[in-house]
Amino acid sequence: MWVPDARRWLLTWQLWAGGLIAVLTFAPVLYWNHLNDWVSFYKQFGRAGSDGYTAKYIFEFIGAFVGLLNPLIALLAAFGAARLFGRFLKQDVVASLIILTVLPFLIYLAYHSLHSRVQANWPAPLFPVIALMAAIFVGDLQDRSRNWIKLATTGVCLGLVIAFAVQLHAVSAFTGQFARKDPTHQLRGWPEISAALKDFVGKTGAAFVLTSGYGLNGQIAFLMKDTVPVHQFTQRIRYIMAPQPQEAGFDGAGLYVAESRRDQADVLKARFDTVVQVAVLERLVKGVPLEELVVYKLSGRKTAALDPLETK
Contacts of residue 263, Cβ cutoff 8 Å, sequence gap at least 6: 294
Of the candidates 109, 138, 171, which is a domain's last residue? 171
Reduce the DSSP state of residue 308 to 3 states and report it: coil
Looking at the fold, whether 162 and 95 belong to one and the same domain comes out as: yes
Looking at the fold, whether 103 and 56 belong to one and the same domain comes out as: yes
Q: Among 28-32, 164-168, 293-297, whose mean pLDDT is lowest? A: 164-168
Q: Is residue 262 part of a domain?
A: yes
Alpha carbon distance 248, 245 (integer Å): 8
Looking at the fold, whether 212 and 150 belong to one and the same domain comes out as: no
Residue of 48, 289, 45 lying closest to 188 (CA atoms): 289
Q: Is the pLDDT of residue 263 over 90?
A: yes
Q: Is the pLDDT of residue 49 over 70?
A: no
Q: Is the pLDDT of residue 72 over 70?
A: yes
pTM of the model: 0.80
Looking at the fold, whether 237 and 282 belong to one and the same domain comes out as: yes
Q: Is residue 6 part of a domain?
A: no
User: Across the strands, what pairs with 279?
Assistant: 295
Q: What is the pLDDT of residues 98-141, one digit of tens each?
A: 999 999 999 999 999 998 889 888 999 999 999 999 988 888 77
Range of the domain at 236: 186-301
Q: Is residue 181 part of a domain?
A: no
Q: Is the pLDDT of residue 213 over 80?
A: yes
Of the candidates 130, 148, 171, which is a domain's last residue? 171
Residue 17 banded pLDDT, cuts 50, 70, 90: very high
Alpha carbon distance 15, 271 (integer Å): 56
Q: What is the pLDDT of residues 177-186, one digit of tens each?
A: 888 888 888 8
Region 165-171 average pLDDT: 89
Q: Is the pLDDT of residue 191 over 90?
A: yes
> What's the chain's average pLDDT?
91
Alpha carbon distance 42, 286 (integer Å): 41
Alpha carbon distance 85, 192 (integer Å): 52
Residue 97 banded pLDDT, cuts 50, 70, 90: very high
Region 256-270 average pLDDT: 96
- 224 or 146, which is more confident: 224
Looking at the fold, whether 204 and 97 belong to one and the same domain comes out as: no
Alpha carbon distance 32, 103 (integer Å): 30
Looking at the fold, whether 109 and 203 belong to one and the same domain comes out as: no
Looking at the fold, whether 101 and 213 belong to one and the same domain comes out as: no
Q: What are the strands, taking DSSP E only, across 36-174? A: none
Residue of 283, 66, 60, 59 lying closest to 179 (CA atoms): 283
Region 218-225 average pLDDT: 95
Q: Is the pLDDT of residue 312 over 80?
A: no
Q: Is the pLDDT of residue 144 over 70?
A: no
The percent of residues above 90 in pLDDT, for the chain, comes to 62
- 28 or 153, which is more confident: 28
- How many folded domains does the chain comprise? 2
Give burial (CB, 10 Å; 0-12/13-18/19+) of 26. Answer: exposed
Residue 211 banded pLDDT, cuts 50, 70, 90: very high
Residue 303 banded pLDDT, cuts 50, 70, 90: very high
Of the candidates 127, 145, 171, which is a domain's last residue? 171
8 A C-beta contact, residue 277 and residue 265: yes
